[in-house]
Amino acid sequence: MEKFPDNRAMLSSAWIYPLFVGFVTFGLMILFDLSTRSYLSLRYIFLNHFKDLFWCFVFISLARPISSLLSWGLKTMVANNLLHSSWGNIKSAMTKARVWLLAFAVGYLGLAVFIHSDSAKVAELSKIWLMVFLGVFLAINQRGLINHLFFRSKKMTLLLAFAVVLPFIALGIANEKGTMLVFLFLFTFLVGVALSNKIFQMGGRGYILGVLSSTAILLLLMMVLVNLSGFDARTAERVNAWVNPFVASNDQMAILHWFRDSVPMIGYGFGDIPWCGYHLSGCQGVPLQMQSDYTITSVMAVVGIGASVVLMMVYFAWLALIARQQMAFASEQMKSRLLSGGYFLLAWVILLWVVITVFQALVTISGNLGILPLTGVTLPFLSYGTSNLWLNSIMLSLALFQPKLMLDGNKPYAQ
């Protein structure tokens, strides 16, 4: 620390951390109510989630060293290998980089095969892969994204395929179609942004055509996904429950409809939520995974539909604040010409995490409301789930620490 004096300042918004505490506390309170007043098998779920939250706050308290370590890893282990593998002039360096990338790919897919029965862990592992490699790919491309999304550069196309194809293979191994849908939303969004930029550069109204084109692509991909459900009994069951909720063999969608329709205008409030229904012997009410897959319905039960809409607006505004902060930080690093710096790459990874989180929330909310089939994906920070909560908390801790390049006279410190 004496050799490398601290020359950076904290720039995080004052709203990010308090809102995080508010969201995770609200989710914890719902779990407390659910664990004490519903299924007997859920009686310890609150304590387990409380333990997970303890580790999340540990991650956040270690934001600075975690950020330094990951920014170094992104630069030396990911960006350098990606660049050397395609544009290196020294054959030995190119070979070494390709060996490292192959080792990453084999290790990732091997781990997915080993834990394929736990689809939630495979989903989080796939998010990490996508955030790291696609985030670095976007950082390398920046404004040239359109040229490489449409395969005008063979080398960049290979890097894009390396970042994108492997997560889909891993999710296919685990049969995790909910996260696949989230990734489809993400890619459709990227295509829309790329088209918008290109059309705008040509003098047209890029944002309109970009939105229309991305929507059309998304609908096409969803139709393909639904039609493929016939080859998968689990997915076909969920699609049938989505189309015919009150006659399908899987009655979870029908139960969610009933539960929301019964909620008072201001919600039941804690302590009065009929998780098990009324006039029933034992608990035969809401599904067991109520606070992992169907969290937004639980939120509506507590505070009512109107307050839930307001809460979700604050939730998405909070995520937008994090994204805006990362965009500003990346722009500052570009002006400082620190494009190869680890923190610059990390800003893109965090920005991609925010986009994934937004689409994950949209998918789970749409599934609860019957707009999409039930997917089983969680609502980040509000839902129960160890791996999902840990990953999102680590990413939030990275967003909380934003080092700023400071000047010492005329001499700038390098990252």
Q: What is the pTM of this model?
A: 0.86
Percent of the chain whose predicted confidence (pLDDT) is above 90: 33
Q: Kindly give, in sequence order, each residue whose CB lies less than 8 Å from that of residue 171, ignoring residues fewer than 6 positions away.
A: 122, 123, 126, 177, 179, 180, 183
Residue 22 confidence (pLDDT): 95
Burial 47-65 (b: 16+ CB within 10 A, else e): eebeebbeebeebbeebbe
**How distant, in Å, are the alpha carbons of 62, 209, 336, 400 from that of 22?**
20, 38, 36, 16
Read off the pLDDT of residues 40-93 as tens digits, 9 standing for 90 and up. Answer: 888 899 999 999 999 999 999 998 888 888 988 998 899 888 888 887 778 888
151-168 confidence digits (pLDDT tens): 456 777 788 889 999 999
| pLDDT of 306 | 92
pLDDT of residue 333: 64
Confidence at residue 1, expressed as pLDDT on a 0 to 100 scale? 41
Cβ burial, residue 165 (10 Å; 0-12/13-18/19+): exposed
Residue 324: the pLDDT is 86
Average pLDDT in the chain: 80
Render pLDDT for 183-209 as a digit per residue (tens, 0 to 9).
Answer: 888 887 777 666 666 666 665 555 566
Q: What is the pLDDT of residue 6?
A: 44
With contact defined as beta carbons under 8 Å apart, do 89 and 354 qualify?
Answer: no
Alpha-carbon gap, residue 357 to 349, rounded angstroms: 12
- Reported residue count of the chain is 415
- What is the reported pLDDT for 409? 44
Where along the chain do its domains lie? 16-412
What parts of the chain have a pLDDT lower than 50? 1-10, 145-151, 229, 339, 406-415
Predicted confidence at residue 179, as pLDDT, reads 87
If you search the block for the tokens 């308290």, which residue do you land on?
61
Q: Which residue has the tokens 């930080």?
A: 329
